[in-house]
Every structure is written in structure tokens, then in C-alpha cells.
Amino acid sequence: MLCAAYQVVRWRHAQRREQVAERWAGTSPPPLNATAKLVGGWYLASTAVTFVGGAALCAAAFMTEPAVPTRYPAAIAVAAHTFALAAGAGATALVLGRVLRAPVIAEDAASHLVDGLLRAEDAYRFASPAPYVLVVASLPVVDWLEPGPLEWFALAYLVVVLGLQLTGWLLVRRRYRRLPPGFYGR
């Protein structure tokens, strides 16, 4: 919950500045497939696998909760992890929806390239699904007393999502390595 709130607050702070620039640019949103291509398929796949796979892992945890008593009922732990995943999905959908549908703030080819870079970076910076993977994958590992196949699924889920996200981030960094000459405020 705190991670989702932190991501949204950081994004909202940056969003206020972008809204001023959007009013000046006065352009319309680009087609969804064009902005999805800018953000990258690897990022979108990692986000989908994070939340769909996390929901499946939480559902499997509900069905296979241990019969032995733990510090607290396993159903409470699973519900808390599921709620955290749902909060993360909501925060990610809020940010990602705006990243994909925001108007283009550009007037020439160089500024279009910078707008694409900022969209891709906004997705990774403000809507990273990595923290939610750790929340869900830790569920069977930390809360279950008896090891089982669910732990291996959680580990595979963690590796796949982090691998997808890292691959997407590296490809975005490579794609936008060379921006046109100019001052970009760094």
C-alpha cells in the first residue's frame, strides 16, 4: 500500500508540471498502439504477468493454505498480500493510463523523440511492477511452515517478471541512448 501511494504521489508531482506544458502544446493524444510501442512490449508484458500471475498465485495460496496453525491464520496473510497487489494494480493502471493517453508535447522530430523517451521513462519510474512481485512472491516463502510446490511457482514468477522488466528497461535505455544534441535539463 505504501509503495503504491508513494509511486502515485511522485507521479502526481511530476504530472502537474507536464499539464502546464500540455496546455501550451495544445496537441491531442497519439494512437494507443503508437504509445504502447514507445513504452515497449517488454514492460507491458512484465506488468501483465505481474498482476495476472500475482492474482493466480494469490488464488493458489488461498486454495492451498496450510492446515497447521501459524502465527496468524493463513487466510489473513493471503488476503493482505492480495489487497496489496490490488492496490499496486490500481496505482499502476492510474499512471500507465495517463502515460499511454497523454498528449504529445512536441513540435519537431527532436522533441518527439524526447517525448517518447519521457513516456518510456515515466512508465518505469512511476509505474514499476517490481515491488508488487516481491510482495506476492514472498507470500508462500515467508508465511508457510511447510515447503511446497507453490514456493517454486513463486520463485519462477519472481524470476520471469524481473527478467521481463530488466530486459525492457535495458532495451528502452539502448533505444534512447542517443538523443539529438541539445539541453535536456540534466
d(CA 77, CA 184): 46
Domain count, the chain: 1
**What pTM was computed for the model?**
0.78
Q: What is the pLDDT of residues 125-168, one digit of tens each?
A: 888 888 888 888 877 766 555 667 788 888 888 899 999 989 98
Question: Directed axis angle between helix 41-63 and helix 130-143, to 10°?
Answer: 20
User: How many Cα atoms within 13 Å fall on the side-chain side of residue 112?
Assistant: 8
112 in a domain, yes or no? Answer: yes
* Joined grid coordinates for residue 127: 509505474
What per-residue confidence (pLDDT) applies to 164?
92
Q: 164 in a domain, yes or no?
A: yes
Rounded Cα gap, residues 5 and 35, in angstroms: 25
> Is pLDDT at 123 greater than 80 in this prediction?
yes
The span from the CA of 80 to the CA of 1, in Å, is 10
17-38: pLDDT as tens digits: 777 767 676 677 778 888 888 8
180 within some domain? no
**Is 82 a domain residue?**
yes
Give the per-residue pLDDT at 38.
Answer: 83
Q: Report pLDDT for 149.
A: 79
Contact of 102 with 17, CB cutoff 8 Å = no
Domain that holds residue 19: 2-175
CB 154 within 8 A of CB 81: no
What count of other Cβ atoms lies within 10 Å of the Cβ of residue 140? 28
**Residue 186 resides in a domain:** no
